[in-house]
Amino acid sequence: MAERSFKKEVEHLRLGAGETFTGEGILAITKALLECGVGYVGGYQGAPISHLMDVLADAEDLLTELNVRFEANASEAAAAAMLAASVHYPIRGAVTFKGPVGVNVAADALANLSSSGVTGGALVIVGEDYGEGSSIMQERSHSFAMKSQFWMLDPRPNLPSIVKMVEQGFALSEASNTPVMLMVRIRSCHVTGSFETRDNMRPALSVKDALVNPRRDFSRVVLPPMSYIHEQDKITKRWPAAEKYITENGLNEQFGPPQAPIGIAVQGGMYNNVIRALQRLGLANSFGDTDVPLYVLNVTYPLVKDEFLTFCQGKSGVLVVEEGQPEFIEQGFATLLNRAGNSTKLYGKNVLPMAGEYTGQAMLQGLTAFLHKAAPDMLADNLRSPNAPVTPIPDLSKTVPIRPPGFCTGCPERPIFAALKLVEQERGQHQISGDIGCHLFASLPPFEIGGSTMGYGLGPASNAAFDGGGEKRAISIIGDGGFWHNGLSSSIGNLVFNKSDTVTVIVDNFYSAATGGQDVLSSPNDNASKSTKHPIAAALKGVGVEWIRQIDHTYDVTKVRAVLQEALSADYDGPKVIVASSECMLNKQRREKPARTDAIQQGRRVEVPRFGVDSDICTGDHACIRLSGCPSLSLKHLKDPLRDDPVAHIDQTCVGCGNCGEVADAAILCPSFYRVEVVHNAGAFERLRAGVTTKVIGWLQNRRLHKQLEFAEDQT
pLDDT digits (tens, 9 = 90+) for 391-439: 666 777 778 777 778 888 889 999 999 999 999 989 998 999 988 888 8
Least confident range of 234-248, 282-296, 568-582, 638-652: 638-652
Residue 586 is predicted with a pLDDT of: 87
Compute the distance between CA of residue 535 and CA of residue 489 in angstroms, rounded to an integer: 16
Q: Considering the entire predicted model, what is its pTM?
A: 0.87
Helix (H, G, I), strand (E, B) or coil at 41: strand
Report yes or no: 109 and 77 within 8 Å, Cβ to Cβ: yes
Q: What is the largest CA-CA distance in the chain?
A: 99
CATH topology of domain 605-706: Alpha-Beta Plaits (3.30.70)
Is the previous residue joined to 100 through a cis bond, with omega within 30 degrees of 0? yes
Tell me, what's the pLDDT at 19? 96
Mean of pLDDT values over 150-159: 96
Indicate the burial class of 448 (C-beta count within 10 angstroms; 0-12, 13-18, 19 or more).
Answer: middle
Residues 6 or more apart whose CB falls under 8 angstroms from that of 498 comprise 464, 467
Name which of 226-240, 294-308, 622-636 the model is least confident about. 622-636
- At residue 45, the pLDDT reads 85
Q: Residue 1 above 60 pLDDT?
A: no
Domains 9-248 and 414-587 share a fold: yes
Amino acid at residue number 183: M
For residues 67 and 50, what is the distance between their CA atoms, to the nearest angstrom?
A: 23
Predicted pLDDT of residue 715: 60
Interstrand relation of 317-321 and 299-301 (parallel, antiparallel or unpaired): unpaired
Residue 675: partners with Cβ closer than 8 Å, 6 or more residues away: 609, 610, 611, 612, 656, 658, 661
E-state strands within 283-404: 294-297, 299-301, 317-321, 345-347
pLDDT band at 2 (very low <50, low <70, confident <90, very high): low
Question: Mutual orientation of helices 328-340 and 305-312 as an angle, nearest 10°?
Answer: 70
pLDDT at res. 186? 84
> Can you give the pLDDT at residue 527?
84
pLDDT of residue 672: 82
Give the architecture (CATH level 2) of 9-248.
3-Layer(aba) Sandwich (3.40)
In this predicted structure, the answer to whether residue 389 has a pLDDT above a threshold of 60 is no
pLDDT of residue 387: 61
Q: Which runs of E-coded beta strand occur in 466-571?
A: 475-479, 503-508, 511-512, 518-519, 547-551
CB environment 224-239: b (16+ within 10 A), e (fewer): eebeeebeebbeeebb
pLDDT at position 526: 86
197, pLDDT greater than 90: yes
Average pLDDT score, the chain: 89
Q: How far apart are CA 275 and CA 290, in angstroms?
A: 8
Q: Is residue 108 over pLDDT 90? A: yes
pLDDT winner (highest mean) among 374-383, 466-475, 600-609 = 600-609
Q: By the 8 A CB rule, do 11 and 27 touch?
A: no
Pairing of strands 432-433, 345-347: unpaired
DSSP state of 491: I
Specify the pairing of strand 475-479 against strand 432-433. Answer: parallel
Could you tell me the fold of the domain covering 414-587? Answer: Rossmann fold (3.40.50)
- pLDDT band at residue 384, thresholds of 50, 70 and 90? low
The reported pLDDT for the residue numbered 480 is 92
- Rounded CA separation 642/425 (Å): 32
Going by pLDDT thresholds of 50, 70 and 90, the confidence category of residue 222 is confident
Distances (CA, A) of 527 to 79, 484, 520, 585: 20, 17, 10, 19
Provide the pairing of β-strand 253-255 with 294-297. Answer: antiparallel
Whether the upstream peptide bond of residue 203 has omega within 30° of 0, thus cis, is no
Which range among 219-233, 380-394, 447-461, 558-572 has the greatest average pLDDT? Answer: 558-572
Looking at per-residue confidence, does 65 or 223 come out higher? 65
- Is residue 512 pLDDT above 70, yes or no? yes
Phi, psi for residue 143 in degrees, rounded to 5: -65, -35
Q: Decide if pLDDT at 390 tops 70.
A: no
For every residue of 134-182, DSSP letters joined together read -SS-S--SHHHHHHHT-EEE---SSHHHHHHHHHHHHHHHHHHT--EEE
Please determine, for residue 547, whether its predicted confidence score (pLDDT) is greater than 90: yes
- pLDDT band, very low/low/confident/very high, at 159 (cuts 50, 70, 90): very high
DSSP label at 290? Answer: B
pLDDT at residue 177, rounded to an integer: 96
Domain boundaries along the sequence of the chain: 9-248, 253-397, 414-587, 605-706
At 496-507, the pLDDT tens digits run 999 999 999 999
Cα–Cα–Cα angle for 554, 518, 56, rounded to 5 degrees: 175
Does the structural domain 253-397 have CATH classification 3.40.50.300? no
Nearest to 245 by CA among 148, 157, 167, 193: 167
What would the mean pLDDT of 6-21 be, rounded to a whole number? Answer: 92
Note if the bond before 376 is cis, omega within 30 degrees. Answer: no
Percentage of the chain exceeding pLDDT 90: 54
* pLDDT value of residue 712: 65
DSSP state of 426: H
pLDDT at position 3 is 64
| pLDDT level of residue 328 (50, 70, 90 thresholds) | very high
Give yes or no for a contact between 128 and 77, defined as CB atoms under 8 angstroms apart: no
Residue 127 has φ and ψ, to the nearest 5°, of -85, 95
SS3 (DSSP) at 254 = strand
- pLDDT interval class at 386 (50, 70, 90): low
**Residue 661's pLDDT band (cuts 50, 70, 90):** confident
**How many angstroms separate the CA atoms of 476 and 460, rounded?**
5
Alpha carbon distances (Å) from 252 to 174, 266, 299, 542 = 18, 10, 6, 53
* 3-class secondary structure, 689: helix
Q: What is the mean pLDDT of residues 92-110?
A: 92
Q: Is the peptide bond before 48 cis (omega within 30 degrees of 0)?
A: yes
Write the pLDDT tens digit of every residue in 227-273: 889 999 999 999 999 999 999 999 999 999 988 999 999 999 999 99
Residue 344 or residue 642, greater confidence: 344
